[in-house]
Structure 1
Amino acid sequence: MASARLVVIKIGSALLVDRAGGGLREDWLTALAEDVAMLKARGTGVILVSSGSIALGRGVLGLGYGALALEQSQAAAAVGQIQLARAYEQVLGPHGITTAQVLLTLEDSADRRRYLNTRATLAQLLSLGVVPIVNENDTIATDEIRFGDNDRLAAQVAVTVGADRLVLLSDVDGFYSGNPKDDPTATRYDVIDRITPEIEAMAGDAGSGLSKGGMKTKLMAARTATAGGCALAITEGSALRPLSALEQGANCTWFTAGEDPQIARKRWIGAMKPRGTVVLDAGAVDALSRGKSLLPAGVRAVSGSFGRGDPVRIEGPDGAGLGVGLTRYTAAEARAIKGHRSDEIETLLGYPGRAALIHRDDMVL
């Protein structure tokens, strides 16, 4: 944790909401804010993926703890999300930390255009020093567009933003060979370097009364995160300042990542089949060699049929292949703005657009 560049922290409903009264555990949340401030003070970016909107909303609406109909869950989420966002703002504000609310569904990661929009928005928030508070958009999400649990949502967010650490604050202190509540011989793993079929067989399904995730979902999250170059920790989160405790050696299980998240992302982009081609002038080629993004002004020609978020081949003025990148504009839009300055985009298209045709983070050369 001490060397982390960007950390995603998943917070479950059972940690955030008091089961007996249905209200926030304010002392716990205040202590967590101290941990977040500690990370921010040393230059680490932080994203919080927080459950709790339905749990808080059902308490306000008097819906009890039984199973809810879809419409009741969505109503509870709508009421609870306001409280959840306000709570984070109130505990992080005194530390000089600005918060933002980001609500996602599975479609936002499955659709490449929306995935890139999500990535760009989160990257901009982080660059401004903001702590995004991410949750599933339960007010509109139905089964076919749901993650279903915030363990997997947190893993997807970690991969989307290129985080190098993901911490799942749980009701158990790591991954065990069996359920420690039922099996006294179950042993905890300190480090797991590879998720084998034997490891998968050890994961159970049970979640708590407020949460939907079990150890199986955490294992699925670990597979997603580590494949994207992000190490993942499962640790017990109910104690005050759980992140400080993790740094100081609290029980946990780390799932290690084999490579840097940026390298993993570049490999993913590089393996894509291009849907079109952009030909650059010499100035743009030089700019890319110095790590710059591709601006419309440096594009001489556009060919192919592609949409926003699609991969395109990048060529130099002599036709030599330079690499592949994910475009932020459709083919028609790219043709309209090629050779023009970024401040002319709104005039040319009739609506504002992003300054770069292909951002350097979405490009492999």
Structure 2
Amino acid sequence: MRVVVKIGTSTLTKSGKIDTEYIKGISEEVAGLVRNGKEIVIVSSGAIGFGAMKSGIKDTRGIVKRQSLAAIGQIILMKEYEKAFSVQGIDIAQILLTYDVLSNRKSYLNLKNCMEMLLKNKVVPIINENDVVSIDEIGTAFGDNDVMSALVSTKIDADLLIILSDIDGLYDDNPKKNSDARKIKVVSKIDNEIESYAGKAGSFFSVGGMKSKIRAASIVMKSGSTMAIAEGREKKVISRIIEGENPGTIFLPSEKLNARKRWILAAKPKGKISINECAIEIMKDGKSSLLPVGVVNVEGNFSQGDVVKIGSFAKGISLLSASEMRKVKGLKSKEASAALGRKVSEIVRRDDIVPC
């Protein structure tokens, strides 16, 4: 069984300090699981928060400041993990990622091969976003490690993603403010009601909140895997979830996508194609390709083979470059072929379209 465990900054700290005892406990539990044949990958936040604690900085706002703090804190974070896992006789590996690495199919395959080798040798990869170079991502919706952990899960074919947080699941209201808030134990579909339960991102050093966890769940569920949210300080919580217990909220898979579609789902779009109402209706069943006649607008500067956003409901691999697509938008296939001097029928194949 392959499991990704995401640990947030608020879970790794206590009273404004690094909680070394917690890291020791997590390392001991993970080491035991690895010895019992489980493949465990950790996605760990904490670099910016640890850097801020080391530097005595309270206000972490600002891209350059967060980059600098991440550079300081990442070393501290890995030292703590290395110290704790070495006691258990387990090796760890540091992997720093950016969204672009996951979006490029060649680098994605290189990453996957590396991960396979590490896991085969019972090494625990510890992944964090490379905040030092991720200019666009820091402090944005794509920059939190909840979404990063979901993308990693889809890329490495994980069976389960466990997000350890300072809250023990999804509630219909904020349980810290409303004592009558009801925990949602099982989610089988992300709809407007479920999304309405998510509040804004929360704690001081962290970026993620329940909104990002819902987004992560949506990615994981669509890829055909399971996700769990749980209180990170509950005893043996990782092992209990793996064994089938549900101490928090479980998000059930909706369908199993093949490897190509999982890559499309997790890839960062290089552009956007806006389509007309007729094309939207035709493509809703997932059995139709996108034709030039359905395109009304093209955004971005993408190449043939890049992943693009299709309207507000899907992603797909474009068979044309952005400049070519602008030339054929709104044209019938025969007219599009004449415009480009070669046969053009579909511009995104149905097998390369994934709802998102």
State the TM-score, normalizing by the size of structure 1: 0.67
Q: Is the 8 A contact 1:34 1:241 kept in 2?
A: no
In 2: Cα distance, 1:258 partner to 1:41 partner? 31
Q: C-alpha offsets along residues 114-171 of structure 1, whole Å, 9 cap, x if unaligned? A: 2222222212211221110000001111125873100000000000100000000011
- Match for residue 8 of structure 1? 4
In 1: Cα distance, 2:137 partner to 2:248 partner? 33
In 2: Cα distance, 1:144 partner to 1:264 partner? 27
In 1: Cα distance, 2:262 partner to 2:134 partner? 28
Tell me: CA distance 1:193–1:248, structure 2 relative to 1, closer, same or farther (3 Å). closer
In 1: Cα distance, 2:166 partner to 2:264 partner? 39
Q: What's the offset of the Cα at 1:38?
A: 2.1
- Partner of 2:143, secondary structure, is coil
In 2: Cα distance, 1:270 partner to 1:173 partner? 31
Tell me: CA distance 1:270–1:25, structure 2 relative to 1, closer, same or farther (3 Å). closer
In 2: Cα distance, 1:11 partner to 1:267 partner? 27
User: Sequence identity of aligned pairs in percent?
Assistant: 38
Matched, 1:49 2:43: yes
- Mapping 1:239-254, distance limit 5 Å: 239-244=234-239, 246=241, 247=243, 249=245, 251-254=247-250
Q: C-alpha offsets along residues 223-243 of structure 1, whole Å, 9 cap, x if unaligned? A: 001111220000011245432
Q: What's the offset of the Cα at 1:269?
A: 7.7
Q: Is the 8 A contact 2:154 2:220 kept in 1?
A: yes
Q: Is the 8 A contact 1:229 1:264 kept in 2?
A: no
- Selected match of 1:120 from 113, 126, 132: 113
- Selected match of 1:215 from 197, 207, 210: 210
Q: What's the offset of the Cα at 1:268?
A: 5.3
- Match for residue 68 of structure 2? 75
In 1: Cα distance, 2:263 partner to 2:55 partner? 46
In 2: Cα distance, 1:202 partner to 1:66 partner? 28
In 2: Cα distance, 1:29 partner to 1:176 partner? 27
Q: What's the offset of the Cα at 1:259?
A: 4.4
- Mapping 1:88-99, distance limit 5 Å: 88-99=81-92
- Match for residue 139 of structure 1? 132
In 2: Cα distance, 1:268 partner to 1:28 partner? 34
In 2: Cα distance, 1:67 partner to 1:15 partner? 18
- Partner of 1:135, secondary structure, is strand
- Mapping 1:1-365, distance limit 5 Å: 5-20=1-16, 22=17, 24-63=18-57, 65-143=58-136, 147-244=142-239, 246=241, 247=243, 249=245, 251-259=247-255, 264-265=258-259
State the TM-score, normalizing by the size of structure 2: 0.69
- Partner of 1:179, secondary structure, is coil
In 1: Cα distance, 2:95 partner to 2:79 partner? 13
In 1: Cα distance, 2:263 partner to 2:54 partner? 45
Q: C-alpha offsets along residues 231-269 of structure 1, whole Å, 9 cap, x if unaligned? A: 000001124543245458462100011345xx5326658
Q: Is the 8 A contact 1:10 1:50 kept in 2?
A: yes
Q: What's the offset of the Cα at 1:203?
A: 1.3
Q: Is the 8 A contact 1:19 1:210 kept in 2?
A: no
Q: 2:165 is matched by which residue type in structure 1?
A: S
Tell me: CA distance 1:61–1:139, structure 2 relative to 1, closer, same or farther (3 Å). same
Q: Is the 8 A contact 2:155 2:263 kept in 1?
A: no
Unaligned runs of at least 5 residues, structure 2: 266-302, 308-356
In 1: Cα distance, 2:7 partner to 2:188 partner? 24
In 2: Cα distance, 1:270 partner to 1:203 partner? 26
In 2: Cα distance, 1:157 partner to 1:93 partner? 25
User: Would you say how many aligned residue pairs link Structure 1 and Structure 2?
Assistant: 266
Unaligned runs of at least 5 residues, structure 1: 272-306, 312-365
In 2: Cα distance, 1:187 partner to 1:128 partner? 43
Q: What's the offset of the Cα at 1:97?
A: 1.0
Q: Give the CA RMSD over aligned residues.
A: 2.5
In 1: Cα distance, 2:263 partner to 2:205 partner? 38
